[in-house]
Amino acid sequence: MEQFEPVVVAFCCHYCAYTAADMAGSKRLAYPANVNIVRVPCSGKVDAIHLMKAFEKGADGVYVAGCLEGDCHFKNGNTQVARRVAYVKRLLDEIGIGGKRLEMFYMSAGMGERFARIATEMTEKIRDLGPNPVKSALNKKKGKAVA
């Protein structure tokens, strides 16, 4: 059987995590290609529906990366989204997807190593959890559409 390659979506704040990803690149730090970055103007811009839709469309894992506590460019977007992430984690548990597939991280723009480490650890964690259970239904649907 082919090894499962997870699809991980990372919502990264422009002012910290996205720049940290850039920093990781500049430092030639490798991180898994499984991580798909979505740049957002502030982590607080990420709504519960964005997280849910990512899973609905087949992401195996999702995380939001915002500024360190107290460092949000827009005052408190990072703490607001952290509460939203906690809410969606509970929702994912309720519907059988599993809240563990969603996480919140904090970092500064200079933390290239932390970005690469989190990307690697999250990918490995999702690999261990296995594919998002909605995927088989999605594949069936796609198969039907092709047929």
**Rule CB under 8 A: is residue 49 a binding residue for other proteins?**
yes
**Cβ-Cβ contacts under 8 Å for 30 (sequence gap 6 or more):** 116
Looking from the CA of 118 toward its CB, the CA atoms found within 13 Å total: 28
Q: How far is the CB of 138 from other proteins (least distance, A)?
A: 7
Candidate ranges 26-34, 66-74, 110-118, 135-143; the one touching other proteins (CB under 8 A): 135-143
Task: Identify the residue among 15, 18, 55, 106 touching other proteins (CB under 8 A).
Answer: 55
Q: How far is the CB of 74 from other proteins (least distance, A)?
A: 16
Helix count and strand count (H, E) for the chain: 5, 4
Q: Within its chain, how far is the Cα of 49 from the centroid?
A: 14
Q: How far is the CB of 52 from other proteins (least distance, A)?
A: 4
Write each residue from 72 to 101 as x if it is in contact with other proteins (CB under 8 A), else as -, in one continuous string.
Answer: -------------------x--xxxx----
Task: Identify the residue among 29, 37, 52, 129 touching other proteins (CB under 8 A).
Answer: 52
Q: How many residues contact other proteins, by CB under 8 A?
A: 19
Reference 117, options 73, 78, 59, 65; nearest CA is: 65
CA distances from 13 to 97, 115, 129, 146 (A): 25, 12, 26, 37
**Rule CB under 8 A: is residue 47 a binding residue for other proteins?**
yes
Report helix, strand and coil shares of the chain as percent, to nearest 5.
Answer: 50, 15, 35
Residues forming contacts to other proteins in the complex (CB under 8 A) are 47-49, 52-53, 55-56, 91, 94-97, 133-134, 136-138, 140-141
